[in-house]
Chains A and B, each alone.
Chain A
């Protein structure tokens, strides 16, 4: 059965068919939630809530990109989580930051990598997460969906209930802010990943 078949069955109440959709999209959903929230536990909650809500409202899906429809639910659950965190008196941006010392990344690669590489990737991950945490939520979601998950402008527009022009402007601002953060704290970035600024300046443009 193809995706549309699973969707139609799920719309008739077939939870087993819906779980096929879960299997297809759960990595994307969790990754997005993780990047937006910066906290694995919160990302799990948001992802689980999102799938429960998606099944409950699956009959509201009327065509178009199912991926975008689903991610809209995911981002809404993420916003809910962010609101909850903001309400707590101890909430601060730090709560959204990863502890750089705590390894978060699972073994998503089949081949074992050298410890150095692994450590560097952890470091990079932490730096990116810190940069993302400084962004307003809508810019953060847009940046994650476009530059990390590869969504098109139209898909992001559907997932964030905005128009393409708004998506473009949020993206532009988010990219610039992240770039400014990373450039301001080069020590956070493993040398392997650093920008060779001298090269950037001297390289002749065609």
Chain B
């Protein structure tokens, strides 16, 4: 086909490849075939020349001047803010929702379990008295791991799973205490709180001492203490919360012994109701916060995209 210079197929073949030839895109074999054809074909020579000319005109075409600047008007900050805030908003929404679910779950568990005396109430009850809990926690020597104390910085609505010092229902015989190693400390704290609840002020004002080794557990338990109990006193009188499961202990009797008295002990069944309203408020509050944050996140997201 390449050999027949005046063959129509030759012309067509060449014509199709002129553009690639001009751009040096042909394989060596094709290039040499094309050049050989063009050498002997006036028509294809003219075609090649005119094609080159048209391309050169395009390159020489005068460029239109820029009519104006196309720079965007910079918004005063929102775009950047939206970028930043979206991820934070998402996080905040997720956290609020999580806390809400945790709170609600804990509330439900407490309601189901609260009727039975031995059932330990969830630690979330502690949340009801945030200030007291914090005070209690702060009074406790931080070095004492045995005292199951939630992180002091924890906001009232957080750390429901942490076991805390909680005033326990005097009626509950099983004051669940923690595992052996933890028993002393928690029990002592529990003892203190119940002592307080009872209104007993036999405790000398001193910080809780770190739980003694197990043999001395009884002694430790017997030591009522501190500011916490008194701090707890006012609000605790009408509420009683059992410690949570972690504090299951094989020696519930000890706590009972330690308690000097029990004031008017609110039956466990009252607990849900009593503790209910602050808890409900917290739940409602969290619900609103979660919904608000979720709406804000959606708004920012939509505006951003």
Contact = CB atoms under 8 A, between A and B. Distances in A.
B238 interface: no
A13 B80 contact: yes
Contact of B71 (A19, A104, A205): A19
B interface bracket (residues with beta carbon within 8 Å of A):
35 or more
A62 interface: no
Nearest to B80: A13
Interface in B31-89: 35, 38-39, 42, 45-46, 49-51, 53-55, 57-72, 74-75, 79-80, 82-83
Nearest to A34: B64
Interface of B: 15-16, 18-20, 25, 35, 38-39, 42, 45-46, 49-51, 53-55, 57-72, 74-75, 79-80, 82-83
Given A22-B72, A105-B65, A148 B54 contact: no
Given A12-B83, A13-B82, A19 B67 contact: no
B49 A176 contact: no
A12 B84 CA distance: 9
A193 B39 CA distance: 26
B67 A30 contact: yes
A107 B65 contact: yes
A128 B70 contact: no
A78 interface: no
A175 B74 contact: no
A197 interface: yes
Contacts of B67: 30, 40, 44, 106
9 contacts: A22-B70, A108-B64, A125-B61, A128-B61, A148-B59, A168-B20, A182-B57, A197-B49, A200-B49
Contacts of B19: 168, 171-172, 175-176
Nearest to B58: A147
B64 A26 contact: no
B65 A193 contact: no
Contacts, number: 129
Given A12-B83, A205-B39, A47 B60 contact: no
Contacts of A171: 19
Interface residues of A, number: 53
Q: Does more than half of chain B's interface fall in helix, strand or loop, or is it mixed?
A: helix
Interface in A71-93: none
A30 B80 contact: no
B72 A148 contact: no
A18 B50 contact: no
B159 to A, nearest CB: 35
A14 interface: yes
B45 A200 contact: yes
Contacts of A106: 64-67
A124 B72 contact: no
Nearest to A189: B57
B128 to A, nearest CB: 43
B55 A175 contact: yes
B51 A175 contact: yes
Contacts of B68: 44
A156 to B, nearest CB: 12
A55 B79 CA distance: 11
A195 B49 contact: yes
B70 A29 contact: yes
A193 B60 contact: yes
9 tightest A-B CB contacts, nearest first:
A106-B65, A200-B49, A172-B19, A179-B54, A13-B83, A19-B71, A147-B58, A15-B74, A13-B80
A8 interface: no
Nearest to A200: B49
Nearest to A143: B58
Interface string A173-195: 00110110011000001000101
A18 B50 CA distance: 43
